[in-house]
Structure 1
Amino acid sequence: MTAITNRYDFVLLFDVTRGNPNGDPDAGNLPRLDPETNHGLVSDVSLKRKIRNYVEIKGGGQPPLAIYVQEGSILNEQHRKAYVAHRPGDPKVGSEKKLNPKDDIEGRAITSFMCEQFFDVRTFGAVMSTGINAGQVRGPVQLGFAQSVEPIVPQEISITRMAATTPAEKSQRADGAEEGNDRTDNRTMGRKFIVPYGLYRVHGHVSAHLAARTGYSDDDHALLIEALGAMFEHDHSAARGEMSSRRLVVFKHSSPLGNAPAHKLFERVSIGRSIDGEARPIDRRLDNYPVARAYSDYAITIDREGLPEGVEILDLI
């Protein structure tokens, strides 16, 4: 497959309703926050995980759509596959805990094998020099952190259980019930944090220059776009509530190096509030400013006037 020859920049909007889009393990799984603004955050790693999961379902885990970083996998054993392919019959390949390429030619061949086999390696890149050395790859697709359009107010919700864990606890509950006291034991099972509603925005970039190194093709790019639109459909859970991709705006450049700075293109995508049927700037100082509780509370506008020569806007969702 031929690598892409166009640069792309894109804006993805997604939302969450009554869920935790990305918990922070260092803060008791509280939804990630910017401490200065209280805007919600979702890490690039979280979004890449969802893309990987979608591609794994779509491709059945088979090359060239196999996934390198997946739950329970041993990365060095993934690297070993490349050595087995390039050193057939070599007994050391199947037993050595450390392997290195014999020379630069073999090193490039082993890294190329990993790119050919694994979608996420040729898309996002990977550091594969851990013991069994398969090199390092800088991927052509990069995502930033997603940030909520407005500040979020996480809610803490306690959850309880009705079943007892031991006979003694069951007896204690029965004694408490006879005395008319249903609070004699602690039935708290845990706590959940949810965001009542939040609209998030993330920016992404696709480099044709780096795609030439990994073999990231037009077919891979089409699959990435498909995954961005559908990745939340296969990631539903009670903890994450309802999450959906809402809008995907792609800026396609006619050249590999690009025809305009990415930040100038991103400024063309504006998000305001839909109030009384009119799009208004987001401003908490407005009187009777309603709290957003649905995607329909927002108005998305795209400035298509005076586009730089060689730039095309693709409104894909």
Structure 2
Amino acid sequence: MAVSSGEILFVKAVKDGIPNRDPLNDSDARRIFGEDDGRISLSDVSIKRDVRDYVLAKYPDGGGKDGRHYVFCREERTPDGKLLGRDRLAEAILERSGRKDSADKPTALLESTFDMRVFGAVFSVSKKSFHKTGPVQFGWAHSLHPVETKYVQGTVVMPSSDVGDAGKEEGKEQGTIWTTYILPFAVFAMPGVVNASVAAETQMSADDLELLLEGLWKGTLHRQARGRGIQQPLLLIHVEYTDKFFRIGYLEDYLHLEPGRDAWLGGQPPVSLEEVTLDISKLAGIIGNNSPYRDRIARIRWVKAPSLKVKGELPGEEWKMW
């Protein structure tokens, strides 16, 4: 089944961590709007990693007989610990998927790897090269409110060096001190687009699209790391269009988090989900039954976390997929 052009809007929250650190700013949260604006951001790379890791966990064998759910952008090592380069990783995937003898390597890789079909790929190794733009592109996710991060430190109890059998110190006996930035709480909105024409070129299927959307939701829950904090998916909306060359665009701009920016400036940002309400009234007006683009919209579906308070009526059908 062919993939339709559409848009994705994904809202998630994080507590007690930095979901996407900026190595150029002492690993603090990424701020592309500046300190006065107060908002922080997540890169599309971070979101794609959530999806890839989920697909890897769900299909560790690549997806069974058809072998279409391998993930190319990942780390794999040889039994002796050497990291596989792109060329050897590609050959390993083709062998496992049963496409090793294919004369058309680029097509065989597209048939074998979920992330190449969905996100695209740049491959150039040993005189073999191809470039595919991904049919699914995500924008940066920005917090829907000002955020203040905190600089904290602690101590690791384990000694940083060994201590001799007779108690003689061979190194530092005390634990090491760690420092990091964290944020108490933040809600992010991330936009995405699906291009039907490009999907046909990469052989992205309707099943791939369903797995992508599932990966956004469940991948947020699955991927864990101490510094990422506790992350929770809140709302996922998928809009499909009748015209593959049409897009409303910037759906995230129609979201508003209450009580609003003025209430949070001056050192009082929200610290829990109970303190906020997501107003989707404007979004419903632009994509709902009274939308000026109603004849261009083929389908709207959504998933919402029960803990999220919403103002306004979500258009379309509730998605009970997960």
- TM-score interval, normalised by the smaller of the two chains: 0.7 to 0.9
Structure 2 counterparts to residues 267-286 of structure 1, below 5 A: 267=253, 269-273=254-258, 280=259, 282-284=260-262
Q: Which residue of 2 aligns with 1:44?
A: 44
Letter in 2 for 1:77: R
Note the alpha carbon deviations across 1:79-113, whole angstroms, 9 max, x for none.
Answer: 44688888859xxxxxxxxxxxxxxxx6xx32111
Q: 1:10 aligns with which of 8, 11, 14?
A: 8
Q: Is residue 2:281 matched to residue 1:295? A: no
User: Equivalent pairs: percent with the same residue?
Assistant: 21
* Secondary structure of the structure 1 residue equivalent to 2:31: coil
Q: Which residue of 1 aligns with 2:139?
A: 144
Q: 1:78 aligns with which of 89, 94, 100?
A: 89
Q: Is residue 2:96 matched to residue 1:66? A: no
8 A contact 1:250–1:316 mirrored in 2: no
8 A contact 1:158–1:188 mirrored in 2: no
Q: Is residue 2:207 matched to residue 1:207? A: no
* Secondary structure of the structure 2 residue equivalent to 1:111: helix
Aligned length: 275
Change (3 A) 1:87 1:140: closer
The structure, 1 or 2, with the larger RCO (C-alpha pairs under 8 Å, 6+ apart) is: 1
8 A contact 1:197–1:293 mirrored in 2: yes
Q: Is residue 2:305 matched to residue 1:306? A: no
Q: Which residue of 2 aligns with 1:93?
A: none
The alpha-carbon deviation at position 119 of structure 1 amounts to: 0.2
The alpha-carbon deviation at position 213 of structure 1 amounts to: 0.3
Letter in 1 for 2:296: G
Q: Which residue of 1 aligns with 2:163?
A: 167
Letter in 2 for 1:154: T
8 A contact 1:61–1:67 mirrored in 2: no
The alignment's TM-score, normalised by the length of structure 2, stands at: 0.76
8 A contact 2:235–2:303 mirrored in 1: yes
Q: Is residue 2:237 matched to residue 1:249? A: yes
The alpha-carbon deviation at position 18 of structure 1 amounts to: 0.6
Cα separation, 1, equivalents of 2:219 and 2:46: 11
Cα separation, 2, equivalents of 1:224 and 1:83: 22
Change (3 A) 1:136 1:82: farther
Q: Which residue of 2 aligns with 1:101?
A: none
The alpha-carbon deviation at position 218 of structure 1 amounts to: 0.6
Cα separation, 2, equivalents of 1:160 and 1:122: 45
The alignment's TM-score, normalised by the length of structure 1, stands at: 0.77
**Based on CA coordinates, which of the two structures has the bigger radius of gyration?**
1
Note the alpha carbon deviations across 1:215-251, whole angstroms, 9 max, x for none.
Answer: 1011000111111111122112322221011101111
Cα separation, 2, equivalents of 1:196 and 1:161: 22
8 A contact 1:55–1:65 mirrored in 2: yes
Please provide the CA RMSD for this pair.
2.9
The alpha-carbon deviation at position 71 of structure 1 amounts to: 1.6
Q: Which residue of 1 aligns with 2:219?
A: 231
Cα separation, 2, equivalents of 1:266 and 1:210: 23
Letter in 1 for 2:278: A
The alpha-carbon deviation at position 285 of structure 1 amounts to: 5.9
Structure 2 counterparts to residues 48-127 of structure 1, below 5 A: 48-62=48-62, 63-72=67-76, 73-80=84-91, 88=101, 109-127=104-122
Structure 2 counterparts to residues 162-201 of structure 1, below 5 A: 162-164=157-159, 165-167=161-163, 187-201=175-189
Change (3 A) 1:80 1:18: same
Q: Which residue of 1 aligns with 2:148?
A: 153
Letter in 2 for 1:252: E
Change (3 A) 1:112 1:284: same
8 A contact 1:126–1:137 mirrored in 2: yes
Letter in 1 for 2:242: S
Cα separation, 1, equivalents of 2:99 and 2:268: 63
The alpha-carbon deviation at position 39 of structure 1 amounts to: 1.4
